[in-house]
Each structure stands twice: as C-alpha cells, then as structure tokens.
C-alpha cells in the first residue's frame, strides 16, 4: 500500500517531529485500526524511523497489500495488519531500544513490504 501526505503536518497534528512532505509517496509498513474508529499508518519519516500517523492525513495511491502482511486482532474490535515477524509482543519497544535482532527483522521485512506494495 502506497500513500501520499495530503498536506503539511502541523505540530498539533502529531505527537512527534515529522519530516513527511505532501505529494511524496510513502509505503505503508503497518496499519492499525482502533475499535473507536481511529486508524493509523506506520510509515518511515524522513529520519528513517517508522512512526504511526493518522490515516486521515494521507491519500491512498495504491491499495495493493503485501503478501507478508497478516491480520492480528489485539483487543475486541482493534486490529493490526503487519508482517508476522513484527507481531510479537514488545517488537516495537525492542526496535526503538536499539536491539539488533529487532532492527534486523525490521530491515528484512521492511523490504518485503516495499516490494509487495
């Protein structure tokens, strides 16, 4: 799945700095849908770090879903769509803590997601 940012993100739009730019294509690495209706795409910001952003800020350019994605129900009504390797409990915490195994898994499956998008 490929998305483009609709408009420049303002400080009130995100809880972390972003260098995403309108019109640039970003592969969606993961999709999170909450039971209350909020939806998020995980994309890489310009710094190369993956972050979650509200899906409302994006326009979908390609709906093609990578074959490596799985659907995981994480609580009644909320789902994650992501590579199975990223679905283990604590994966993203390990990644952001700099654990090499998590970083290696991210790089490997990031490429699969991009090729499948």
Q: Would you say residue 14 has pLDDT above 60?
A: no
What does the pLDDT read at residue 102? 96
* CA–CA distance, 86 with 21 (Å, rounded to integer): 26
Are the beta carbons of 78 and 101 closer than 8 angstroms?
no
Q: Would you say residue 15 has pLDDT above 60?
A: no
The residues spanned by each domain of the chain are 2-116
Convert the pLDDT of each residue in 49-108 to its tens digit: 899 999 999 999 999 999 999 999 988 889 999 999 999 999 999 999 999 999 999 999
Q: Exposed/middle/buried for 82, CB within 10 Å: 0-12, 13-18, 19+?
A: buried
What does the pLDDT read at residue 12? 47
Stretch 26-42: mean pLDDT: 93
Are the beta carbons of 74 and 82 closer than 8 angstroms?
no
What does the pLDDT read at residue 23? 87
């Amino acid at each position: 799945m490929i998305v483009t940012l609709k408009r420049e993100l303002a400080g009130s739009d995100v809880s972390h700095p972003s260098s995403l730019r309108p019109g640039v294509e970003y592969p969606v690495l993961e999709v999170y849908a909450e039971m209350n209706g909020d939806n998020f795409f995980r994309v890489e910001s310009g710094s190369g770090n993956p972050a979650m952003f509200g899906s409302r800020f994006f326009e979908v350019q390609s709906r093609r879903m990578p074959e490596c994605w799985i659907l995981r129900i994480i609580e009644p009504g909320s789902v994650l769509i992501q590579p199975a390797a990223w679905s283990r409990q604590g994966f993203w915490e390990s990644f952001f803590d700099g654990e090499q195994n998590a970083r290696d898994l991210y790089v490997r499956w990031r490429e699969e997601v991009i090729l499948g998008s």
